[in-house]
Structure 1
Amino acid sequence: MVHPIPSLRPRRMTRRNRLALGAVLAAGALLLTSCGSSIGGASTQSDAAGPLKVGVIVPATGNISSAGLALKAGFELGVEKINAEGGVNGKPIEYTVEDDSSDPATSTQLAKKYVQTGDVSLLFGTITGDTAAAVASVANSAKIPFATSILGDPAVCSRYAWGFGESTHQLLTPIVPDLLAKYGTRVAIVGSDYNFPRDYAASAEKIVTAAGGTVVAQEFSPLGTTDFESTIGRLKAAAPDLVLSMVVGADAIVFTKQAQAFGLLTPTLGYEGAPLDADYYPAVADQVTGREHAVRWSDGFADDESKAFVAAYRKKTGSQAPIPEVAANAYFAIRFIAAAANDAKATAPAELNTAIAGFRFDSPLGKGTHFAGPANILQATMSTVTIGAGGAYPVTKDHGMVADTETTCG
């Protein structure tokens, strides 16, 4: 699914961040029609008292609009909750949502538009690495904080970039030892052929080796591949016990189905990675049900706040499909930011940025979550879920807070 500033990845990386399926798309159409200015307006409160104002940029149209709309829904639910609790410094959060169609040039234009008005405290959103990098560049120049909610390691550092998704280290470190113990120590890595899956593979090899495993094969295929038979044949020939997959987008579905059809993906082979994300479940249910998957949050969390968020999200979107993690990341991100702003009594960009940097926040993502390290990695919890029939993602192992203060930027 998608993050400190997500990597400055080439344009083709955009499919990494999880194409969610039809139910969310349909719900997204309702979300768009229900909003005011641009895609979605909010409060029209006076500027005099200095409310927290957020410029949101998401791909509300285009081939990853479902993920963008999930982010938007999670963000809006967070704002609704914050405002119902008294807002920030006694004032409701104000926000506007703009559609970048997952195009970096449009992302840049929209970010500049927000900045040039001089009327935002924070930039929030985008899904893909290249659009996030585009907004981050503008935010950094303007010295305005920018928050994302997608996973991945940053390619560039900025003291104004705040990512609320898990790093690759956090994604792999908790679960790899368990998978090696369960399935065996021979590991194959497969991915789409662009920067992020190759970076994931490099990190995975270090983590596998440290845990006593051996990487016996690595395979990368161009995005848009529809026939993985030869790739699967080479993977089978390496006789792995475990496959770590960062094949993404629609390719993740094709690869997973063909891996089973061509005899690679069997019940005795371990399988972990992007294709197990909740977004893909309706398309690969037969292949992933019963498998373990590392997550920062899932709709199987049993705490009261997560259950309330799940109920609110389903009511807002009408979707009964597994809830994309990016939606919850956006929800808890804006709650973290609002709490930091309230604590520091700050809404001006520079003061807000300082407040975020030094704040600790309790939520279902962990007690005392905070940012650390040169890449502004959120120090938060990780869990293992075991995917159940019908798309249930209940937690079967709580790993606690997984520290990452070593990940750097490009």
Structure 2
Amino acid sequence: MPFPPTSDPELFERRGYRKKLRIANFITQSGPAGLWGPAATNSTLLAASEINRRGGILGREIELSFFDAGGDIDDVVRTAREIVSGEDADIIMGSHISAVRVALRKVIAGHIPYIYTPVYEGGERTPGVMAIGEIPRIQSRPAIEWLANVKRASRWYLIGSDYVWPWLAHKATKKYIADAGGRVVGEEFVPLGAQDHSAQLARIRAAKPDVVLISLIGTDSILFNRAFGKQGLGAKMLRLGGAMDETVLLGIGAANTDNLFCASGYFIDAASRDNDAFRGHYESAFGRHAPPPGSIAQSNYEGLRFLETVATRAGSVAARPLLTAAANIDYQGARGNVRIRRGNARMPIHLAEADGLDFRLIQTF
């Protein structure tokens, strides 16, 4: 992966003299995606603690700082610019919506390595940005094929939040729907923070889809799915969620989760040695009643595990060797073995169906 000529090798050398590895974490603590903030923070702290007990990254103890990525995007960008210009961090890590990533990379890329952890639309090729989340080709395509083959689903209605992830994810999923012999009978994008979904639900009812594919984010998804359930639509059509996890499910409520499916690289109840270890350490650190670390939150844990592996291979956290090593590498996280090839992450994808307030895994692809 080429690195732009604006990078400053001497800057990375100066940062390398620090005893501690300073990581600035842009985690969404407010707005529709803010419900993941507490568990995301916990997951980051857990990974840093584990790595520091192993001696840190290349002998340097991780030192974390946290910034809210859920406010006005211009304010978030201004904070990132100040961090970069002030040489206040060696690495930036982000768990936030893609609209923030697109804005941040303009001031971060080329100056400081930037690890983006959650599910996203794919196609990130900005030099300096490393994305490790699920992309539609590995997340949505097998779920769409399963619903077409097993549930005989052919009519699809797509609804998402009005920003870059749903825009581009829907573009990809339309092809997967067509490849599975289905057709899209409706599509719309809803402004972030919308409270009333009655108009969208009326259009969905009229279109009579077999499946509603939902790319709404955080509390927006909760409000939509609550209203969907209360109108009795759960008994009439299936739902397939994108950025949905156990935290969202708790918000929706058990009475509103009929025929609700989700595809993800991580579920809390996925049975594996890696996940058992992660869950055990998380509970030991934060208690049984801590916010559940669903897929979005857990991705922050994986972000530091990824950095540890990449830095060890590169022998450095300087941009050029770090980015070269990150392009093709395997690492272990709570999802198990994750393979990065040409900058794209691949991992087993699980399809789950909501069972009250839990997800019951029914298929792994």
TM superposition score category, shorter chain reference: 0.7 to 0.9
Distance 1:227 1:397, change over 3 A: same
Match of 2:335 among 334, 345, 365: 365
Residue 378 of structure 1 aligns with an amino acid whose one-letter code is A
Compute the displacement of 1:148 (Å).
1.4
Compute the displacement of 1:349 (Å).
2.8
Which residue in 1 is equivalent to 2:76? 107
Provide the secondary structure at the position in 1 that maps to 2:364.
Answer: strand
Residue 281 of structure 1 aligns with an amino acid whose one-letter code is L
1:202 aligned onto 2:171: yes
Match of 1:354 among 305, 310, 324: 324
Provide the secondary structure at the position in 2 that maps to 1:159.
Answer: coil
C-alpha contact 2:93 2:114 (8 A) present in aligned 1: yes
Which residue in 2 is equivalent to 1:335? 305
Compute the displacement of 1:167 (Å).
1.3
Distance 1:275 1:332, change over 3 A: closer
Match of 1:56 among 8, 22, 25: 25
Within 5 A, what are the aligned runs for 1:176-255?
Answer: 176-181=144-149, 182-255=151-224
Match of 2:137 among 165, 169, 172: 169
Match of 1:384 among 351, 354, 365: 351
Which residue in 2 is equivalent to 1:393? 359
Match of 1:282 among 222, 247, 250: 250
C-alpha contact 1:124 1:146 (8 A) present in aligned 2: yes
Distance 1:305 1:158, change over 3 A: same
Compute the displacement of 1:275 (Å).
7.6
Which residue in 2 is equivalent to 1:32? none
Q: What is the Cα-based RMSD across aligned positions, in Å?
A: 2.8
Match of 2:296 among 317, 326, 337: 326
Higher relative contact order (CA 8 A, sep 6+): 1
Compute the displacement of 1:90 (Å).
2.9
Distance 1:254 1:359, change over 3 A: closer
C-alpha contact 2:145 2:180 (8 A) present in aligned 1: yes
Compute the displacement of 1:202 (Å).
2.2
Compute the displacement of 1:107 (Å).
2.3
Residue 386 of structure 1 aligns with an amino acid whose one-letter code is E
Residue 272 of structure 2 aligns with an amino acid whose one-letter code is D
Match of 2:85 among 103, 116, 138: 116
Give the Cα–Cα distance (whole angstroms) in 1 for the partners of residues 220 and 51 of structure 2: 38
Residue 355 of structure 1 aligns with an amino acid whose one-letter code is A
Give the Cα–Cα distance (whole angstroms) in 2 for the partners of residues 136 and 371 of structure 1: 21
Q: Deviations over 1:111-136 (max 9, x none)?
A: 22332343533111241223322322
- Aligned positions, number: 348
Give the Cα–Cα distance (whole angstroms) in 1 for the partners of residues 279 and 217 of structure 2: 25
Which residue in 1 is equivalent to 2:238? 270
Provide the secondary structure at the position in 2 that maps to 1:381.
Answer: coil
Compute the displacement of 1:221 (Å).
3.8
Range with bigger deviation, 93-102 or 197-206: 93-102
Provide the secondary structure at the position in 1 that maps to 2:71.
Answer: coil
Give the Cα–Cα distance (whole angstroms) in 2 for the partners of residues 197 and 49 of structure 1: 40
Compute the displacement of 1:333 (Å).
1.8
Give the Cα–Cα distance (whole angstroms) in 1 for the partners of residues 73 and 104 of structure 2: 8
Which residue in 1 is equivalent to 2:119? 151
Distance 1:116 1:131, change over 3 A: same
C-alpha contact 2:24 2:64 (8 A) present in aligned 1: yes
Distance 1:82 1:226, change over 3 A: closer
C-alpha contact 1:58 1:97 (8 A) present in aligned 2: yes
Give the Cα–Cα distance (whole angstroms) in 2 for the partners of residues 322 and 126 of structure 1: 16
Residue 326 of structure 1 aligns with an amino acid whose one-letter code is I
Query: Please, what TM-score do these two structures have when normalized by structure 2?
Result: 0.84
Range with bigger deviation, 80-89 or 305-314: 305-314
Compute the displacement of 1:261 (Å).
3.1
Compute the displacement of 1:244 (Å).
0.9
Q: Deviations over 1:187-231 (max 9, x none)?
A: 222233444333332222111010111212224444444443343
Compute the displacement of 1:185 (Å).
1.3
Query: Once the two structures are aligned, what percentage of the paired residues are identical?
Result: 23
Q: Deviations over 1:68-121 (max 9, x none)?
A: 332222122111111222222233223333345533233223322332343533
Give the Cα–Cα distance (whole angstroms) in 1 for the partners of residues 348 and 283 of structure 2: 24
Range with bigger deviation, 276-285 or 149-158: 149-158
Compute the displacement of 1:156 (Å).
6.0
Distance 1:312 1:368, change over 3 A: closer
Structure 1, gaps ≥5 residues long? 1-45, 400-410
Which residue in 2 is equivalent to 1:86? 55
Range with bigger deviation, 361-370 or 276-285: 361-370
Residue 110 of structure 1 aligns with an amino acid whose one-letter code is T
Provide the secondary structure at the position in 1 that maps to 2:110.
Answer: helix
C-alpha contact 1:71 1:330 (8 A) present in aligned 2: yes
